[in-house]
Amino acid sequence: MSLKEQFGTDVLLTGWGHSRFGKLTEDTLESLIVRVAAEAIENSGVDAAQIDEIYLGQFNSGLVPLGFPSSLALQTDPALANVPATRVENACASGSAAFQQGVKAILAGTARTVLVIGAEKMTDASPELVGSALLGADYDLAGQESTSGFAGLFAVVAGAYEDRYGAIGDVLGSIAAKNHRNGVDNPFAQLRRDLGEDFCRTVSDKNPIVAGTLRRTDCSPVSDGAAALVLTTSTARSAGAATDPVRLAGFGHANDFLPAARRDPTEFAATRVSFERALRMAGVGLDDLDFAEVHDCFTIAELIMYEVMGLTAPGEGRRAVEEGWVYRDGRMPVNISGGLKAKGHPVGATGVSQHVVSAMQLTGTAGAMQLPAPRRAVVQNMGGVGVANYVSVLEAV
């Protein structure tokens, strides 16, 4: 059963905008939001006056002084005056949380056209502030000092994985190298440099250990950036739209317990449930998907996502790398955009960005990133260590 069969309506992504990710010293949170919102509205072919609701995904947690940014999008166009606008926060999944709130507004019948934005300005904050802000998303370390931040939490995951399944070897370096190579072709990416496997696998002055066994190349960077998209119900291409629309075939959301003691560090149980819910709603299986954008905040997260989505059995994720399945010419290309690892991870923008780059693939407008005629994609975004989990299945119309 598809989303349309379940709810009686289509939900379409009809236009999008995307900033470059990185250290954007000339931009403010406001300028990023306004720019990508304007691009999304223009590319969708709708009039700003048709937008019924706005959802903004942003984590913030003190990264910028302004803690009330929901109305910034109204400055995109005078026609947006008085449109309901809401900030949505769910840690690193804030962008996908905003996306699903927009979807649910359409399915509830309270909106027909929704503007969804994800944005974050991180690089103006000190490294210490960034670290403490991000740790505000962890039950055990919130409010405490930490030298390794979330890298330390995922280093624990990597250690637990090796304890259970054996040494990982060079597979994390291969994942990092894959995503850096993919990022070269993404004009929005923060790190557009092919570092090669040898560099990513080797500890050096330029690639030091950050926490546990995780090297700098295993960790996504601190980033500024924004992305936006327009959701509507009509499958007809609007006059003036830049591309054909993309259909949302299914979506899933599942939360796990916040205390680490109540979660298996290698299982990502709620992440698995979010995949199952999205695929079931879409009425598809893994073999029906052409590519995936997954939340590789750290390379160990991408490795486990191979197992969680069902590409391999638990403990066998390295096969997907060693046998070439997840490369751009493999059976399930993963993170063709470069992922968070190379594209960057402006926290609130990430989930929206993942949907945008996937929609570009499905409309044949991904430029140098483009895969040969993909028809269906899965997008996975999470907050915390597998705590807040969102999955979407998108398909070409």
Catalytically active residues, by annotation: 92, 345
**14, 42, 80, 302, 305 from 313: Cα distances, Å:** 36, 44, 49, 14, 11
Buried b (16+ CB within 10 A) or exposed e, 361-381: bbbeebeebbbeebebbbbbb
Number of H helices, E strands in the chain: 12, 11
Distance of CA 145 to the CA centre of its chain: 27
CA nearest to 132, candidates 224, 222, 24: 222
Helix (H, G, I), strand (E, B) or coil at 297: coil
Q: Are 118 and 51 in contact (CB under 8 A)?
A: no
What's the angle, vertex CA 196, arms to CA 191 and CA 202, rounded to 5?
100
**84, 85, 113, 248, 276 from 106: Cα distances, Å:** 14, 15, 7, 12, 23
E strand or H helix at 18, and its extent? strand 12-18
CA nearest to 252, candidates 224, 228, 272: 272
Give CA–CA dist 394/397, Å, rounded. Answer: 10
CA nearest to 249, candidates 288, 298, 214, 297: 288
Structure token pair of residue 84:
């309901």
